[in-house]
Amino acid sequence: MSKEYRFPEGFWWGSATSAVQIEGAADEDGKGMNVWDYWYQKEPNRFFNGIGSQVTSDFYHRYKEDIKLMKELGHNSFRFSISWSRLIPGGTGKVNEKAVEFYNNVINELLENGIEPFATLFHFDMPIEMQNIGGFENRKVVEYFAEYAKTCFELFGDRVKRWITFNEPIVPVLGGYLYNFHYPDIVDFKRAVQFGYGTVLASARAIEEFKKLKINDAKIGIVLNLSPVYPRSNHPADLKAAELADLFHNRSFLDPSVKGEYPKELVEVLKAYNHLPEYKEEDLELIKDNTVQYLGVNYYQPLRVKAKENMPNPYGVFTPNWFYDEYIMPGRRMNPYRGWEIYEKGIYDLLKRIKDEYGNIECFISENGMGVEGEERFIKDGIIQDDYRIEFIKEHLKWVHKAIEEGCNVKGYHVWTFMDNWSWLNAYKNRYGLVAIDLKTQKRTIKKSGYWFKEVAENNGFVD
**Cβ atoms 323, 245 nearer than 8 A:** yes
Beta strands 334-335; 340-341: pairing state = antiparallel
Q: Yes or no: say if 15 and 75 are a contact pair by the CB < 8 Å rule.
A: yes
Q: What is the CATH number of the domain that holds 374?
A: 3.20.20.80
DSSP state of 257: I
Tell me the pLDDT tens digit for each residue of 8-41.
999 999 999 999 999 999 999 999 999 999 999 9
CB 168 within 8 A of CB 225: yes
Alpha-carbon gap, residue 134 to 142, rounded angstroms:
10
Reduce the DSSP state of residue 419 to 3 states and report it.
strand
| 229/233 Cα distance (integer angstroms) | 12
How many domains is the chain built from?
Answer: 1
- Output the tens digit of pLDDT for each of the chain's 464 residues: 899 999 999 999 999 999 999 999 999 999 999 999 999 999 999 999 999 999 999 999 999 999 999 999 999 999 999 999 999 999 999 999 999 999 999 999 999 999 999 999 999 999 999 999 999 999 999 999 999 999 999 999 999 999 999 999 999 999 999 999 999 999 999 999 999 999 999 999 999 999 999 888 999 999 999 999 999 999 999 999 999 999 999 999 999 999 999 999 999 999 999 999 999 999 999 999 999 999 999 999 999 999 999 999 999 999 999 999 999 999 999 999 989 999 999 999 999 999 999 999 999 999 999 999 999 999 999 999 999 999 999 999 999 999 999 999 999 999 999 999 999 999 999 999 999 999 999 999 999 999 999 999 999 999 99
Catalytic residue of the set 168, 344, 367, 375? 367
397 neighbors 449 (Cβ within 8 angstroms)? no
Cα–Cα distance measured from residue 38 to residue 35, given in angstroms and rounded to the nearest whole number? 5
Catalytic: 285?
A: no
Q: Kindly report the backbone phi and psi dihedral angles of residue 45, in degrees, each rounded to the nearest multiple of 5, phi listed first.
A: -65, -20
pLDDT for res 215: 86
Provide the residue range defining the domain that includes 238. 4-463
